[in-house]
Amino acid sequence: MHASPAAPFLSGVIEGFYGPTWSRAERIELLDHMSAWGLDTYLHGPKDDVHHRAAWRLPYPEPEAHELLSLVREARARGIRVAHGFGPGLDIRYTDPADLDAAVARFVQARSLGVSVFVLLFDDIPDRMHEEDVARWGTLARAQAAFANAVLAALSAEAPARMLFCPTPYCGRMAMRGHGGAGYLQELGAMLAPEIDVFWTGPEIVSRTITEAHIDEVASWLRRPPVLWDNLHANDYDGRRVHCGPYSGRPAALRARLRGVLSNPNTEFPLNFPGLHSMAAWLRAGADWDERASYLDAMRAWLARFDGWRQPMPEEDLLLLGDCFYLPYSEGPLAIDLRDQLRAVLAKAPEQWGEDAAAVRSRLARLRDACARIADLRDRRLFAAWSRRAWELREECDLMVKFLEWNLAPATRGQPFHSDFHQPLTYRGGMVPSFQRLLLMQKDGTFVSSAMEGTPP
């Protein structure tokens, strides 16, 4: 391995998602949490900040430059380093000296504002190059490595610089598909200056699990241990979900094989409390790491924020709500149990419903009321972050409760059920669920058209 052993391990948070950027108040709150939880690095690289990708050649104007400067000062006061990144890959010309100058100028400006880690991001770009770049470098990996090395050389001429690089194929699936060109990662590993760290998201963009064997293989391609860019709690790709579950599916032993672990979490800043709390616990944990226990700790610490105008949120309700918005590939156990119970009841004709139906009705009504109570929160930013999701869940719980009540009552049992809040053939969600019903996912992950004859309705 060639990675510079002197450079410290990085732990922390990436503001690296698509969507509205966090506010100054949110970033300061993040820094407070990070310092309390022992996280040391904040990477500023919001995808939809125009200076991140669209206008990457332009330095930050005032007042954005001042904003970054003051953020760096706040971070330093808490012992946290600020990394700054941008993504030139949408329209860069790797051989154009003006583009190299523009990239260096961006980092020189960032350095003048106090940034100490410089990040070049080549994720989510077409894996094609201009003709002159192809003629000069042949492959994308060589072009990008040469560009990054030149940026590092220019920055290091003035002062030592720590650099990170996000490759175009940044997960196992992309590498397997040959994204970026055959042998991209091996070529990058051979050519990129050994002191530049490389981001990696795991076997997938959003990885359910990451094993030590996987990281060892990646490290052998890259000739250095990667820095984990963890999208476990990201939700920018699915507007209906948020992820409040624990840091999950990563054995504690993984840390020793990485050069850093940074989470790129939910776009809604206030909903990141439990996920980041848990990740910070994982970073400190030993082999007895228990992800559910870390979730329960995080939720108990979060509970104080759920003080309402009329009453506080009971811990039990917050846990159930959190379990309904848990992790990308799984709800939490309380939510799974509720759904299983509901499914078992609905699988039977109402005449055969036993006491289970009344019990599941009460649990659903309780969840509905917990969702409704979000509107009462004293913390209005927390309310705003939850509002749409909690409301949507409340609506579905309410519909289900009414359906159960209709069929529990002897007078209406088995009669056609209507909701006063649903017009025929309209569902919540508009175009999106109507598309989703047209293309159905099978158990093996393949999609089939539901409009074709012979496919399930």
Active-site residue numbers? 124
Residue closer to ligand GDL by CB (options 230, 398) is 230
Alpha-carbon gap, residue 374 to 387, rounded angstroms? 7
CB of 126 to ligand GDL, least distance (A): 14
Among 69, 141, 234, 360, binds ligand GDL (CB under 6 A): 234
CB of 219 to ligand GDL, least distance (A): 18
Alpha-carbon gap, residue 257 to 57, rounded angstroms? 35
Assess contact for 281 and 33: CB atoms under 8 A.
no
CB of 206 to ligand GDL, least distance (A): 6
Alpha-carbon gap, residue 118 to 160, rounded angstroms? 11
Within positions 197 to 216, which residues make up the interface with ligand GDL, using CB under 6 A? Answer: 201, 205
- Answer yes or no whether residue 263 interacts with ligand GDL by CB under 6 A: no
- Answer yes or no whether residue 265 interacts with ligand GDL by CB under 6 A: no
Among 11, 12, 13, 17, binds ligand GDL (CB under 6 A): 17
CB of 202 to ligand GDL, least distance (A): 10
Q: 3-class secondary structure for the chain?
A: CCCCCCCCCEEEEEECCCCCCCCHHHHHHHHHHHHHHCCCEEEECCCCCCCCCCCCCCCCCCCHHHHHHHHHHHHHHCCCEEEEEECCCCCCCCCCHHHHHHHHHHHHHHHHCCCCEEEEECCCCCCCCCHHHHHHHCCHHHHHHHHHHHHHHHHHCCCCCEEEEECCCCCHHHHHCCCCCCCHHHHHHHHCCCCCEEEECCCCCCCCCCCHHHHHHHHHHHCCCCEEEECCCCCCCCCCCCCCCCCCCCCHHHHHHCCEEEECCCCCHHHHHHHHHHHHHHHHCCCCCCHHHHHHHHHHHHHHHHCECCCCCCHHHHHHHHHHCCECCECCHHHHHHHHHHHHHHCCCHHHCCHHHHHHHHHHHHHHHHHHHHHHECCHHHHHHHHHHHHHHHHHHHHHHHHHHHHHCCCCCCCCCCCCCCCCCCCCCCHHHHHHHHEEECCCCCEEECCCCCCCC
Alpha-carbon gap, residue 160 to 35, rounded angstroms? 25
Residue closer to ligand GDL by CB (options 235, 294) is 235
Residue with the two structure tokens 């409301």: 391
Range in contact with ligand GDL (rule: CB under 6 A) among 16-24, 58-66, 247-255, 318-326: 16-24
- Answer yes or no whether residue 229 interacts with ligand GDL by CB under 6 A: yes
Q: In the stretch 112-141, what mask flags binding to ligand GDL with x, by CB under 6 A?
A: -----------xx-----------------
Residue closer to ligand GDL by CB (options 169, 189) is 169
Range in contact with ligand GDL (rule: CB under 6 A) among 3-11, 15-23, 125-133, 146-154: 15-23
Q: In the stretch 79-98, what mask flags binding to ligand GDL with x, by CB under 6 A?
A: --------------------
CB of 166 to ligand GDL, least distance (A): 5
- Answer yes or no whether residue 236 interacts with ligand GDL by CB under 6 A: yes
CB of 234 to ligand GDL, least distance (A): 4
Residue closer to ligand GDL by CB (options 205, 296) is 205
- Answer yes or no whether residue 184 interacts with ligand GDL by CB under 6 A: no
CB of 205 to ligand GDL, least distance (A): 5
Range in contact with ligand GDL (rule: CB under 6 A) among 33-41, 61-69, 74-82, 228-236: 228-236
Residue closer to ligand GDL by CB (options 237, 435) is 237
CB of 267 to ligand GDL, least distance (A): 8
- Answer yes or no whether residue 264 interacts with ligand GDL by CB under 6 A: yes
Residue closer to ligand GDL by CB (options 201, 407) is 201
Size of the site for ligand GDL (CB under 6 A): 16
Q: In the stretch 161-180, what mask flags binding to ligand GDL with x, by CB under 6 A?
A: -----x---x----------
Within positions 42 to 61, which residues make up the interface with ligand GDL, using CB under 6 A? Answer: 47
CB of 121 to ligand GDL, least distance (A): 7
- Answer yes or no whether residue 338 interacts with ligand GDL by CB under 6 A: no
Assess contact for 203 and 179: CB atoms under 8 A.
no
In the chain, the amino acid numbered 180 is G
Assess contact for 69 and 114: CB atoms under 8 A.
yes
Residue numbers at the binding site for ligand GDL (CB under 6 A)? 16-18, 47, 123-124, 166, 170, 201, 205, 229, 231, 234, 236-237, 264
